Structure 1
């Protein structure tokens, strides 16, 4: 099994958390985002979306972090520890995965990460959208009173939500106004230090880039405008 991963990418980190939680052996292949390795013809053969991560397991080649997490659990988590077999419980996990992808990580990354790596600004509208996403997650945690994102035990739903939330810590954005999220986030750190160690590596890199934005002016990107660093 191989995981093509970027060292500070929240979706890549989420997959690494899942692989670690399941104690699976795999080869970690670093894709250098700064060098544009994900934009090469060779990488496009693995993922026409040219996005990271990608998992290769025997004949299966699959992108999208949610799909990767669901696949490794369907194949290797036979007891349903991290991806419940019960339809109702699984539905909540699936919902949180979709919520993260469609709203939570999307709004957080647009405000925190896009201005670090691309020609975007942190705007009042971006901040408002991010706070709305945080408000929604806070309500989910309040309504259910779960210890984790989708239940009273750790599931794959927690992994992408954790790695999205660490983007806030990378820019020193306080979670104090969202006490349920703050408690859940720090509870994960305390209860799963071996998993948090993986996430913390990405956090360290993002914190560095927040203070020292990388120069990606050499890279061509089909969607995002590249920000030029003043000489």
Structure 2
């Protein structure tokens, strides 16, 4: 198994620890990002997104560290302990993985990377996001020895990679007693801890649910629309509860008790609470889907779905929010560099869709549902993606074949109306 990596990358270290846990030997090939080795044509041919880590397993190519970790466990693990088959247990692992990618690690990169590069320094607000992320992790770990249940999972590997990177920059983890306790234990029980630390950069069944499934949401949110479409696909009825974020309803104690991260969408299924839209979508598909078509059980097919879900969250939607949210909030869009990230994300997606009708295989999956929610959000702000022929072709077909498109479109109109109202207010001012 070929493994393209850089030792300092936390994602690469996540894969190394996972490989150690399942007994897989990696044929390591070091790539220097600074020297542009990830842009070599032979590597881009393997991974058009030209990111590390990337594995090649008997011709099967996969990137995104968390997707790789799940793949390794499902294909080579002796049992399902590291990535449980039980939908609820797996959903918690997925939520933690998305939290690591979408909250904990981005907080690190936003503040600390600016200290090592000739860019604008991180702000006090950026540092506060780190503290908030650690406080949330501290809450998740209350009374827990592991981040996603009562035993070690791939979520622990990902968090160990990230938290050890914080340790390297001397962030005071000790202020967060549960995190500190978990981390000290993780150093003893996580396979491959030594390899991780050596690499750390030294910085100078189908059921219908009605009243028992509460869905906290706002119609315009792309994440909420992802869940609405997935619920439609599996035939689940949601007891919809709109939260007004502008009035702070997500901060009410009763909601924070359900979701200490106080984010939407949040689903409560017969007492089981889960948030992060893509984790919810996978959970609904696994627990209520008639078959595994929306989220395949085959490790390779599932790995592709996971990779596209992480791409949607970490690249495509992240690019939208960076450029367009400042426009909605202040009347001034993000920078030209931010806009170029959108174009780069669309180029990647266009490449993924070459000769493909769907983003992760030969039929609709939850990855299509998530990416359709994001693409329609771009459409709402009139982003012109007609020059991306594969994306345009895919999107037009998706409107016809993705379940719940009507519900998505209705919610999108609410978002579009709010955008127009805010932009009109900015013009008046």
Partner residue of 2:130? 130
Partner residue of 2:68? 68
1:158 aligns with 2:156: yes
Partner residue of 1:176? 174
> Where do 4+ consecutive residues of structure 1 move more than 6 Å?
none
CA distance in 2, matches of 1:167, 1:76: 27
Q: 1:117 to 1:164 in 2, by over 3 A?
A: farther
Query: For the Cα contact (< 8 Å) 2:54–2:62, is it kept in 1?
Result: yes
Write out per-residue CA displacement over residues 29-77 of structure 1, whole angstroms, 9 at most, x where no aligned residue: 1111232211222221122222110011112101111110111112112
Query: For the Cα contact (< 8 Å) 1:73–1:83, is it kept in 2?
Result: yes
Partner residue of 2:226? none
- Comparing 39-48 and 61-70, the one that deviates more: 39-48
Higher Rg: 2
Write out per-residue CA displacement over residues 180-217 of structure 1, whole angstroms, 9 at most, x where no aligned residue: 1111111111234x5210111122xx22xx21xxxxxx
CA distance in 1, matches of 2:27, 2:113: 27
Higher helix share: 2
CA distance in 2, matches of 1:85, 1:99: 20
Q: 1:118 to 1:89 in 2, by over 3 A?
A: farther
Partner residue of 1:226? none
Query: For the Cα contact (< 8 Å) 1:112–1:167, is it kept in 2?
Result: no
Structure 1 residue 26: Cα displacement = 2.2
Query: For the Cα contact (< 8 Å) 2:141–2:179, is it kept in 1?
Result: yes
Query: For the Cα contact (< 8 Å) 1:3–1:29, is it kept in 2?
Result: yes
In structure 1, the gaps of 5 or more residues are 212-221, 224-231
Structure 1 residue 117: Cα displacement = 4.5
Partner residue of 1:37? 37
Partner residue of 1:53? 53
Partner residue of 2:196? 199
Partner residue of 2:140? 140
Secondary structure at the residue paired with 2:4? strand
Give me the TM-score of the superposition, normalised by structure 1.
Answer: 0.83
Partner residue of 2:413? none
Query: For the Cα contact (< 8 Å) 2:22–2:78, is it kept in 1?
Result: no
CA distance in 2, matches of 1:41, 1:129: 38
Query: For the Cα contact (< 8 Å) 1:175–1:181, is it kept in 2?
Result: yes
Q: 1:191 to 1:70 in 2, by over 3 A?
A: closer
Secondary structure at the residue paired with 2:141? helix
Query: For the Cα contact (< 8 Å) 1:14–1:163, is it kept in 2?
Result: yes
Structure 1 residue 91: Cα displacement = 1.0
Secondary structure at the residue paired with 2:174? coil
CA distance in 2, matches of 1:33, 1:108: 19
CA distance in 2, matches of 1:17, 1:118: 32
Query: For the Cα contact (< 8 Å) 1:55–1:62, is it kept in 2?
Result: yes
Secondary structure at the residue paired with 2:32? coil
Higher relative contact order (CA 8 A, sep 6+): 1
Q: How does 1:76-95 map to 2 (within 5 A)?
A: 76-95=76-95
Query: For the Cα contact (< 8 Å) 1:176–1:182, is it kept in 2?
Result: yes
Structure 1 residue 116: Cα displacement = 2.1
